[in-house]
Amino acid sequence: MMNMFSRLFEFGYIDKQVRQSDGAVRAREYFVIFNTILGELFVHNLKMGNFDWVREDLYSLPTSAQIFFRKFILNNNFPMIPLNLHKIALKLNLNDKIQANLERTVVTNVLEPLRRQGFIEAYEKEPGLHGAKFIIKRDFSKKG
């Protein structure tokens, strides 16, 4: 958390040609300097190659699978993630009142595409206290 405002860059210019008679600028060179706190962090991340945390093939998945990945998997280090169907529907903004349709939508448009693409190893459905529960399984022994 930053406690102060920081611009991404500073902007400047140099007048290359100035008409002597009236001082009008005929040629100007602009430059951008990343010398602010935020700018230096930005340049550092670019140099380190630390700007592509999500595999590119995520964007070929259905939108609901992408949102599910970002909300439940991306920042989670557990090999098994238990999720209630109601919580999944709430976070993905799925409004179907029929439980069977909701389960089918989650499996077809979210879990299966993620499994086929290798973002999750497997999933299984179990009965839970408040309806269906999905256990998402991931394998951290595979890197890549």
> Residue 24 to residues 13, 14, 21: CA-CA distances in angstroms?
15, 13, 8
Options 3.90.1420, 3.30.1480, 3.30.1360, 3.30.1370; CATH for 56-137 is 3.30.1370
pLDDT of residue 55: 81
Range list for CATH 3.30.1370 in the chain:
56-137
Q: Over 70: is that where the pLDDT of 99 sits? A: yes
pLDDT recorded at residue 76: 85
What are the tens digits of pLDDT across the range 14-52? Answer: 999 999 999 999 999 999 998 888 888 888 877 876 555
